Chain A
Amino acid sequence: MWKWFHRLASPPHLYRTAAAFAPWFAFAAALLIGYGLVDGLVFAPPDYQQGDAFRIIYVHAPSAWLSLFGYTTMAVAGAIALIWRIKVGYAVAAAAAPVGASFTLSALVTGSLWGRPMWGTYWAWDPRLTSELILLFLYFGVISLRKAFEDPNRGDRASALLGIVGFVNVPIVHFSVYWWNSLHQGGTVMRLGKPEMPGSMLWPLLAMLAGFMCFFGAVLCVRVRGEILSRERQSTWVREVVSA
């Protein structure tokens, strides 16, 4: 296990692994998202309370999920890199940040569009909503801190540290609906035991969740490859790979 971990941590190996995985992720993502969209938008019955507006869930929940998953990926990769001095960790963290930020934006926008018919307003200063907005700011902070350094090594380490410090916000986003009485509804899918949703609504949602995760994986693979290339541009293996 430890050996495998170390092998993966070598840049050329991760570079090749990412290349091998990317098309599979992309393929799975296309299938799952395609199925989820069609089944969710066309075949699933309208919600008895929300009518057809509930269909926004098929993009909102996966986006919101990825916003948290992306941040977690970034923080964990950064922590691994900082603690064990594993350089590819920084590459993964740098690759995850913009992707996660984009899904945070997507969660905010789709959520607001959903909020208007449900709560009568696009925006409210509700704990879940606010903490999600803070998450976006944190992403921005991490990204611009990395860019603010001339020396990429220092930028990597500084933004990894900030990512770790900012991680406190992730549980806040997730649990805010339980800790405070919130406009936003609590977990429906991830509840242990029986989900309260009928299968006809649930299956496309699960497909979308899985599809978005695969999509994240595919994009991350491509970005990690790019990060590794430009970080290792002085090394001989990159030169061989590129000039070949």
Chain B
Amino acid sequence: MILRSGFWAMGGYARFVWPSIGFALAILAWNVWSARRHHARALVRVRRAIQMARSEES
């Protein structure tokens, strides 16, 4: 059914429908990516803080 050409044409509105779906999905993807990066960076900061504390002790 998806393969019927009418689906992708979206009744002539493909030009508007697909970019908006695409943009919204891209925003979802960005959120996943940036949240994970945010978490990873926080871990790096913590590790650095731990290292600093160790070097201050010694």
Contact = CB atoms under 8 A, between A and B. Distances in A.
Interface of A: 33, 37, 41-42, 46, 51-53, 55-56, 58-60, 63, 98-99, 102-103, 105-106, 109-110, 113-114, 116-117, 215, 219, 222-223, 225-227, 229-230, 233-234, 238-239, 242-243
Contact of A242 (B30, B36, B46): B46
Contacts, number: 107
Interface of B: 1-2, 7, 10-13, 16-17, 19-21, 23-25, 27-28, 30-32, 34-36, 38-39, 41-43, 45-47, 49-50, 53
Contacts of B23: 59, 106, 109-110, 113
B31 A99 contact: yes
Contacts of B25: 59
18 contacts: A42-B2, A52-B12, A56-B21, A99-B31, A105-B27, A106-B27, A113-B19, A113-B23, A222-B36, A222-B38, A225-B39, A227-B42, A233-B46, A238-B46, A239-B46, A239-B50, A242-B43, A242-B47
Nearest to B32: A219
B47 to A, nearest CB: 7
